[in-house]
Structure 1
Amino acid sequence: MGRRPDIAEVKRQLSGTRLLTLTGVGGVGKTRLAARAAAELRRSFRDGVWLVELADLTGPELVPHAVATALGLHDDTGRDRLEVLAEQLRARSLLLVLDNCEHLLDACAALAARLLRAAPGLRVLATSRQPLGVAGEQVWPVPPLVVPEPEAARRQDTALTLFAERAAAVAPDFTLTAENLPTVARLCKQLDGLPLAIELAAVRVRALTVGEIEERLHDRYGLLTGGSRAALPRHQTLRAAVDWSFELCAPREQLLWARLSVFAGSFDLAAAGAVCSGDGLLVEEVFDLVAGLMDKSILSREDHPAGARYRLLETLRQFGLEKLGEPARIVVQHKHCAHYLRLIERAEREWFGPRQLETFRWLESEHANVRAALEFCLSAPERAECGLRLAGALWCYWTGCGYLAEGGYWLGRALEQNLADRPARRKALWVNGYVANLQGRLAVARDCLTEVKALAEGDGDEVVLAYAVHRLGCLSLLGDDLDNAVELFGSAIDRYNRLGLVNGHVLMSYVELAVALSFRGEFDRAARLCHTAYGLSSAAGERWASAYATFCLGLVDFCRGDLAAARAGAQASLRVKRDFHDLLGIVLAVELLAWTAAAEGRPERAAVLLGAAEAQWGAVGYPLFGSRHFLQPHAGCVAETRAALGEAAYIAAHERGRDLTTEAAIDLALDLRPPARSRPVRAGAPDALTKRERQVAELVAEGLSNKEIAERLVIAVRTAEGHVERILQKLGFSSRARIAAWVAQRRNRDSGSAER
């Protein structure tokens, strides 16, 4: 409100620097100013502006995860997350807003420096109480709102307008008048023009006059500063306003405020009741007290598909943690952790059933609290087993909803801290084997699964043994040992049946056995297994595993030559996988649709879908699992499409697919949007590259690796890598294939000119 000159200044500064950090005391309005300026700059960035909220993060390792999640970028390969982000952003033009960096300064600085170095089209707008300390950083202290002198107060002054707007929200009959303008101006001046402090004071007009508010705040300042108003820094102004608001709350409201500060991000009423009740607060009281804190602007409400959620502003959350104190904080955090462990273990059970999608949405909304609970558990040895249970129970979230990399991070940490053999460790071992297998970390997967299988065999733990055998079957499938995979999957299914287990893992064992059988040409048996899995899913109201069964049926239909059925199966699977953000399921369906399009005689669509799939495979893991059985139909599709389109047209169509976002690729695959229009690969000026870079580009177009280029030109491999990196940056390309297409177009153009 009323930040027009500040917004203009932020935009002006961003035009001259690639990293601008807005600094200032908490509550001065850094986040709102950054968000407003970024919104007005949307049209300046081809790939948009993106807000990454960091206040809820508990550890520096999670910063790249948070950025990737905010940008909708996925990478579950196990590679360094920062390097993956740099690779994925290299050719993009976007503004990244990093909000609340102060508690993660080193991690934010490292991220900003690496991404800015890799992505010429990237600019970063950060908010922090202190600078990041990165070379080239421009720092701009956010000023407080303008406050007029009381005798010159006018209605349009920004601090007064903010006070009037917030006061009218709680007392509709409040307006600025000639009589109260000077008093409001004195009050806003006493609050140093800090927006948060003004808002906290304004809500008190419901019970107090403006004069009474001013008088009480004056007393507060005297207490904090010994009467020296000139010595009052702005952070003490805010402290006074927050402390005063705290003391004006009823004792039970104060207690709830302090206890609510253990939540990260937002929370619902049920969580507030479970975590904050007891020892002086009844559950039913919590619900009424939440409403009271909302009335006082301590809590804000957010609408969510699953229902209303509530949030403490970060400044107020930190204040609450301070008031709670260390011993009480540990007690409440234990309750927070126990609450989420109970709900997550229930969510794991409900993953196989009609509430599956609702479970996914709830997990998405609680992601910040899940991270906070895991961090709390894994920060002390006596709580480590609870963290192990949490990480293991979240297998459905890690593997089914696009969070393989983060799952691997938490499972790895939990297993490192829990070396003794316990049921929770056994489960975490086979879950980590499952996650690592899907990521392509085969050595980690084999170690985990071999260890847990030996433990289970040692004491006859049949349930764990069934899961270990099943996941070892996946290792054999992806390692192209089909006979061993079929044997292991069959053994796992027999074990599941003897135990009477029916869940998502059991269904996936049917589907994965069907995939192995289809690669062996046993299509009838594979189809029967898919129908069995689909029937079990339908009976339970389950959708996630059934979508894999539908995909596998589509694969069988493709192998049989029934292209219409293959396309229908892949699209049906894709619709479900989109709901769950299951990137593995999405890319498998898009890949199958590319094969089908080529076989149907639609080579341009096939090439675009192949490009889209290739971009997603780079995020999921190694393309098509590195399996020759998956790669064989892929290679056939590529060869057929190249032959039909010609090299230049194929590369152009393929790169259009690579440029699609995940959502755009899904829309195209589901026929919800027209194919991307053909456009020439950016040619670049003849002198855009140096003579040596043009030479390297020619060798890239021949398909040579960096090592082969180095050998051909008698230069160091690192020098060749540097040449390729600069070529990509100068031409604004994201892949070596784009360089090859650029070279091909220049050759065609030069050839045509010579003929003329």
Structure 2
Amino acid sequence: MRVDGVGGPKGNLPVGTTSFIGRRAELDELSALLSASRLVTITGVGGVGKSRLALAAAARAAGRFRDGVWLVRLSAVADADLLAYTVAAAVRLVDQTTRPPLDVLVDHLADRRLLLILDTCEHLVDACADLVERLLRGAPRLTVLATSRQSLGAVGEQTLRLAPLSLDPPRPEPPPGPVGVREPGEGEAPAALSEAVQLFVARAAAVTPDFAVTAENRAQVALVCDRLEGIPLAIELAAVRTRTLTPQQILDRLEDRFVLLHRPEEGEPAGERGVPDRHQRLLTTVGWSHELCGSDERLAWARLSVFPGAFDVQAARAVCADEWLPADAVHEVLTRMVAKSLLIRNGPAGAPRYRMLDTIREYGARWLTELGQSATARQRLRDHYLRLARRGEQAWFGPDQAGWFARMTLEHENIRAALELSLGEFDDGESALDLAGTLWFFWVGAGHLAEGRRFLHRALDAATAPGAGPATTKALWVIGYISVLQGDLPLAISMLIRCRALAKVEGDERAEAYAVHRLGCAALIGDRHARAAALFAEALDRYCALGEVNSNVIMGWVELAMAAAFTGELDRATRLCEQAVALCEEYGERWAKSYALYVLAFIAFTHAEPDRAAELARECLRINHSFHDLIGIVLPIELLALCAANAGECDHAAVLQGAAGRVWKTVGTPLFGSVYFGAAHVKCLDLAQGALGPERYQDLYERGLGLALDDAVACALGTTVNPCIARHDQRKDEARAAD
């Protein structure tokens, strides 16, 4: 699990962009429920503020959860099978094994004191209930806070039904006072304003700084909130209209709209009759806001509803821009929509991201269907992320590798949506193959091996002409590559042989080169070094003939160097790695470079240069930690453990071996089952156990086994084991005290 910083606050709670108004009693009640129960669900109508209350309660309770508070937004998840993957991604769990994702989650959370917020569960109630029950059984210190329009019905669930904000009682309009005088009603202090009115005033003042409740407008503001039934989202949408309308004008327009609630026109969809009155009033307010938007805003609103997650300006232009909404106007339209509370903006000023609340998105999607543009907008979304994936693949071999890792991580929800559209609504297996295969750098570089493999298999099954075209051969070698990294050699070899045969038939020389390369990887971790070296050499010759130069090609050099190093050809291995490092530095590539550094560290230790070996291994570790690359993390930790044992720091070595043991559980077969990859581990074990004795070694090993990934990396990068042991002991003491 990667967090914001070792020793810093853990979790992913967003920083509030607006103040939290009212709800003190509900916040206290929710805090009490979270102290007494491990599963609490906030229920209520759409727009009533369930998510905001959950975040406020989580921020208040954060100090009780040593492993952080983690928010999982579920509104974008349409497929229940992706639920566990989504939760894993949100808690930044990287697992590269073939285990079911729910099993991985349970194992990851088993010893953690953590608050998990599942936001917007109503469309996945059964799946969420099953997931929560399984997690709570397997993770005794886990607490779950859910938001949903209905309860989950899970064992042990406590519910808090969230009512609308409190309202002022109806009162006659006071006689007008001097214009601009801000004063409370007779005998009443300003603090007596209802929660609903306080929210209206706060949001109105955000767009009209001199707005305040006065003797002239208080009754109208209170009536606006009353007509909106105290629903926070509806109040916010109305309040932003104070930029151009007085409270009385807002009230008049709302009254006109609400009259229509009880007089549906002929031909109005019958399904609306069954909507609860409060939610109907919210939808009516949303509709009124829609009418007050300009035509460009309404068009953008409809088209942007296809985004399941947050999006940037570039994505918005790709989906929205045409002859009716020019590309250079999109950013300004987004800014106006933020001002009208139709979009939420976050992220740095230079790279903002935008998100729609669920109710706003639902209305926009309905309008998009009315316009007959739903399929077009969804296809634009899919095509944009296919283009983005292609750009990312090209840029992965370059100086902005880390930037693309971060960008694709932010776009994870939208990438999933693009794949699901191709596999579902569009029934376009070929495009799904293209996108899933092109994303190899994301599946591998960001540690999403299991999810990538799942999408690749689904795309192969869905392709209309399986066995034909470069997208198919690419998907086959990517599955083979992923399976090698997962230690699933039988599947890897099967897929790669199939890819090579198909590529030969179709004349796809590039795919054939990649298949040969990855067959070499399978041979390498299977300790068949002569075979591996021959396959790597063949693949590199093929790459050279094609003029192919990228991260995969450099990894071919590094893997050939590994095979040479394992068989004692250290000079040859050194030359290959030095060439790889030089090329990486020329192009600004870091990921493949890190593996070259690992091999050079292995060679340095073999040459009796342990300090140099440790220096190189630490640099390798720093790079791969930034990419969430577990294999690239665990291999240098094993080597650093050996360096520590060789220097007589056997306490440190034993803890590092335990830390590596935990990481291997999320990679797959420890050390791939390879004698050669395991040589450093075995030698370190002999040295450490010999110096410490079996019992002391095992105690320290278990302390390392208890370290979270970030703590393990910090321990490996440090020069002493004491902070690692102290953190582990503190966690154990906290657990005993809590129990």
Give the TM-score of the pair, scaled to structure 2: 0.89
Aligned CA distance change for structure 1 residues 134 and 362 (closer, same or farther; 3 Å) = same
Q: Which 10-residue stretch deviates more, 672-681 or 93-102?
A: 672-681
The secondary structure found in structure 2 opposite 1:177 is: coil
2:418 is aligned to 373
Kept in 2: contact 1:116–1:123 (CA 8 A):
yes
1:628 pairs with 2:675: yes
Structure 2 distance, partners of 1:7, 1:683, is: 29
Change (3 A) 1:304 1:394: farther
- Give the 3 Å change call, closer, same or farther, for CA 684–72 of structure 1 in structure 2: closer
8 Å contact from structure 1 (residues 155, 161) kept in 2:
no
| Residues 1:30 and 2:75 are matched in the alignment | no
Instruction: Tell me the SS of whatever aligns to 1:677.
Output: helix
Task: Find the partner of 1:677 among 711, 718, 725.
Answer: 725
**Residue 690 of structure 2 corresponds to residue 643 of structure 1:** yes
Residue of structure 1 in register with 2:39 after alignment: 19
Deviation at 1:676, TM superposition (A): 2.0
1:283 partnered with 2:320 = no
Matched with 2:181 is none
Contact 1:21 1:137 in 2 (8 A): yes
The whole-number CA distance in structure 1 between the counterparts of 2:507 and 2:118 is 51
Number of residue-to-residue matches in the alignment: 688
1:36 to partner: Cα distance: 1.0
Q: Could you tell me which residue of structure 1 aligns to residue 297 of structure 2?
A: 253
Unmatched tracts of structure 2, length 5 or more? 1-20, 172-184, 265-272
Q: Secondary structure at the match of 1:50?
A: strand
Unaligned stretches of 5+ in structure 1? 686-728, 734-756
**SS of corresponding position for 1:123:** strand
Other-structure match for 1:604: 651
Structure 2 vs 1, CA of residues 294 and 731 (structure 1 numbering), >3 Å: closer, same or farther? closer
Q: Is 1:449–1:468's contact at 8 Å kept on the other side of the alignment?
A: yes
In the TM superposition, residue 579 of structure 1 has moved relative to its aligned partner by 2.2
Query: By how many angstroms is 1:286 displaced?
Result: 1.9
Aligned to 1:737: none
1:651 aligns to what SS in structure 2? helix
CA 1:103–1:47: 2 relative to 1, 3 Å: same
Residue equivalent to 2:354:
310
Quick one: distance in 2 between partners of 1:306 and 1:534?
33
Identify the residue that residue 591 of structure 1 maps to in structure 2: 638
Aligned counterpart in structure 2 of residue 240 of structure 1, from 271, 275, 284: 284
Distance apart, 1:730 and its partner CA: 11
Query: Greater CA deviation, 58-67 or 645-654?
Result: 645-654
Per-residue deviation, 1:169: 0.6
Greater alpha carbon shift after TM alignment, 57-66 vs 192-201 = 57-66
Structure 1 residues 610, 537: CA separation in 2 closer, same or farther (over 3 Å shift)? same
The CA distance in 1 between the partners of 2:503 and 2:32, in whole Å, is: 64
Amino acid at match of 1:187: V
Mark the CA change 1:154 to 1:226 in structure 2 (over 3 Å): closer, same or farther. Answer: farther
- The answer for the alignment partner of 1:118 in structure 2 is 138
Q: Letter of the aligned partner of 2:86 in structure 1?
A: A
Change (3 A) 1:610 1:27: same
| Residue 454 of structure 1 pairs with residue 501 of structure 2 | yes
**In the superposition, relative to structure 1, how do residues 498 and 31 fare at CA in structure 2: closer, same or farther (>3 Å)?**
same
Contact 1:108 1:132 in 2 (8 A): yes
Cα separation, 2, equivalents of 1:355 and 1:523 = 32
Shift of the 648–538 alpha-carbon distance from structure 1 to 2, 3 Å rule, reads same
Amino acid at match of 1:173: D
Who is 2:149 aligned against? Answer: 129
Residue equivalent to 1:700: none
Check if 1:91 corresponds to 2:139.
Answer: no
Residue 535 of structure 1, aligned match among 582, 594, 617: 582
- Within 5 Å, which residues of 2 pair with 1:223-622? 223-226=260-263, 233-278=277-322, 280-304=324-348, 307-325=351-369, 327-380=372-425, 382-418=427-463, 419-622=466-669
Distance 2:729 2:388 in 1: 51
- Shift in Å, 1:257: 0.2
Change (3 A) 1:625 1:384: same
AA aligned to 1:329 is: S
| Cα gap change, 1:596 to 1:65, in 2 (>3 Å) | same
RMSD of aligned Cα (Å): 2.4
Aligned equivalents of 1:622 and 1:179: distance in 2?
Answer: 74
The 1:490–1:358 alpha-carbon spacing in structure 2 relative to 1, beyond 3 Å, is same
Change (3 A) 1:65 1:556: same
**Residue deviations 1:526-570, cap 9 Å, x none?**
111111111111111211111111111111112222111110111
Q: Distance in 2 between matches of 1:35 and 1:295?
A: 22
Tell me if the contact between 1:76 and 1:405 (Cα under 8 Å) persists in the aligned partners: yes
Conservation of the 8 A alpha-carbon contact between 2:470 and 2:508 = no
Note if 1:199 corresponds to 2:236: yes
Deviations 1:289-323 (A, max 9, x none): 21221221111211249711111112211211111
Q: Find the aligned partners of 1:447 and 1:237 in 2 and give their Cα distance.
A: 59
- The 8 Å contact of residues 682 and 731 in structure 1, kept in 2 or not, is answered as no
- What is the rounded CA distance, in whole Å, between the counterparts of 2:113 and 2:694 in structure 1? 28
2 CA distance for matches of 1:58 and 1:669?
40
Structure 2 CA distance, aligned partners of 1:448 and 1:730? 49
Q: Secondary structure at the match of 2:306?
A: coil
Amino acid at match of 1:661: A
State TM-score, norm by structure 1: 0.87
Q: CA deviation at 1:44?
A: 2.1
Distance in 1 between residues matched to 2:506 and 2:142, nearest whole Å: 56
2:706/2:728 contact within 8 Å kept: no
Q: Hey, what's the Cα distance between the residues in 2 that align with 1:679 and 1:264?
A: 39
**In the alignment, is the contact (CA less than 8 A) between 1:474 and 1:512 conserved in 2?**
yes
Q: 1:587-633: CA deviations, max 9, x gaps?
A: 22212111211112111111111111111111122211121211232
Q: Work out the CA distance in 1 between the residues paired with 2:189 and 2:514.
A: 72
Task: Determine what percentage of the aligned residue pairs are the same residue.
Answer: 47
Distance in 2, matches of 1:232 and 1:582, equals 49
Written as runs of structure 1 = structure 2, the 5 A alignment for 1:201-220 is 201-220=238-257
Q: Distance in 2 between matches of 1:502 and 1:684?
A: 49
Asked if 1:70 corresponds to 2:90, the answer is: yes
Cα displacement (A) at 1:180? 1.8
* Deviation at residue 188 of structure 1 after TM alignment: 0.7
**Alpha-carbon contact 1:154-1:181 (below 8 Å) kept:** no
3-state SS of the aligned residue for 1:83?
helix
The within-5 A match list for 1:25-64 is 25-64=45-84
> What amino acid does structure 1 have at the position aligned with 2:313?
L
SS in 2 for 1:264: coil
The one-letter code sitting in structure 2 at the alignment partner of 1:264 is: P
* 3-state secondary structure, aligned to 1:581: coil
